[in-house]
């Protein structure tokens, strides 16, 4: 394992305090409230449907995924937590290993459609280092899944890097570029992708709502494109904001491994369904991964505040 060793291990982290927020679910349109609470070492990230009786704890792991249509939904028995990817992305971006998420409602609030509000909540709670070492999933062999012309792959690599190649024909998306690469660290996450909002297309909204989707979507929590441009006042936060949001989603979906990742993620047109299939395929092949308790120190950058609104800059 060369540069990876127990003595160089980073320690697990949790929240120092409890914070809460409420808002409307992107797809359900229902109001929900969530609280983020500290958790003991090796707890992982666990959702708890506090509005339900009986068994309501749902570990944030790939084996609890129950739906990937326009978002990632976790479930255990009758308890479900929908559109979890933006919150999980923020927890991954801030290197939070252990947390309880008390959810009152069926879906995580959309807030502004990005991960930035969750990042701010985590900063408000504060971070606490714990005694146990962080455990990582290190990719040893390439794993690839396909769906039509789209594909997603994980391959061995130092640290954690992601590359998204989009498959969009919309003129506004083409102008901003259809690809983005991220060398993962907390600083890079916050600066490059945390503020990228979920997005959708005006000509799809009516059909989505007939199928019970995007019922809570609006210009305050999603970028909406007409035939030519983004309809939101102020336009895009990044010239390729939708591509960066797809990376934000991927960070959240990949965190359902239950541990941070060491390896390379590459894809063409991937979404929640392919992301879920990819991590399930990885975990089903024991020769393709190993668990290690170390990470190069320069990959664990200190946390910095989210860039201001003026910084350069509804598919969940």
Q: Which residues are catalytic?
A: 272
Structure-token pair, residue 1 = 């394992």
User: Is 167 within 8 Å of 289 (Cβ atoms)?
Assistant: no
Instruction: Say which DSSP state 185 is in.
Output: -
Backbone angles phi, psi at 294, to 5 degrees: -160, 160
Please tell me the distance from the alpha carbon of residue 66 to that of residue 49, in angstroms, as a whole number: 16
**Residue where the block lists tokens 């949001």:** 245
Which segments within the chain are labelled E, that is strand?
11-15, 19-24, 31-38, 45-49, 57-59, 65-67, 73-76, 79-81, 99-104, 127-133, 136-139, 143-147, 150-155, 160-165, 179-183, 199-201, 223-225, 261-268, 289-292
Please tell me the distance from the alpha carbon of residue 246 to that of residue 125, in angstroms, as a whole number: 27
User: Is 110 within 8 Å of 83 (Cβ atoms)?
Assistant: yes
For residue 70, the tally of other CB atoms under 10 A from its CB is 22
Angle CA 39–40–42, to nearest 5: 110
């Amino acid at each position: 394992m060369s540069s990876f060793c127990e003595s160089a291990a980073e320690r697990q982290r949790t929240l120092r305090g409890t914070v809460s927020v409420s808002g409307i679910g992107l797809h359900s349109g229902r109001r929900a409230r969530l609280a983020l609470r500290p958790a003991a070492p090796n707890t992982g990230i666990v959702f708890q449907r506090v509005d339900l009786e009986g068994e309501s704890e749902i570990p944030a792991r790939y084996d609890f995924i129950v739906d990937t249509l326009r978002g990632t939904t976790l479930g255990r028995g009758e308890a479900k937590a929908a559109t979890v990817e933006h919150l999980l992305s923020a927890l991954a971006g801030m290197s939070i290993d252990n947390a309880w998420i008390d959810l009152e409602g069926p879906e995580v609030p959309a807030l502004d459609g990005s991960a930035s509000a969750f990042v701010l909540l985590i900063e408000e709670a504060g971070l606490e280092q714990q005694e146990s070492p962080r455990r990582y999933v290190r990719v040893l062999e390439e794993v690839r899944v396909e769906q039509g012309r789209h594909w997603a792959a994980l391959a061995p690599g130092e640290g954690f890097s992601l590359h998204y190649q989009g498959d969009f024909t919309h003129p506004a998306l083409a102008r901003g570029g259809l690809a983005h690469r991220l060398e993962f660290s907390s600083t890079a996450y916050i600066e490059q992708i945390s503020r990228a909002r979920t997005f959708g297309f005006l000509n799809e909204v009516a059909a989505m709502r007939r199928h019970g989707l995007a019922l809570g979507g609006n210009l305050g929590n999603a970028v909406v494109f007409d035939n030519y441009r983004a309809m939101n006042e102020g336009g895009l936060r990044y010239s390729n904001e939708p591509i960066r949001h797809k990376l934000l989603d991927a960070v959240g979906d990949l965190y359902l491994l239950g541990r941070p990742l060491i390896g390379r993620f590459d894809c063409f047109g991937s979404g929640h369904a392919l992301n879920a299939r990819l991590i399930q395929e990885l975990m089903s092949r024991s020769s393709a991964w190993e668990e290690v308790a170390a990470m190069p120190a320069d990959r664990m950058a200190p946390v910095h505040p989210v860039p201001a609104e003026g910084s350069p800059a509804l598919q969940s």
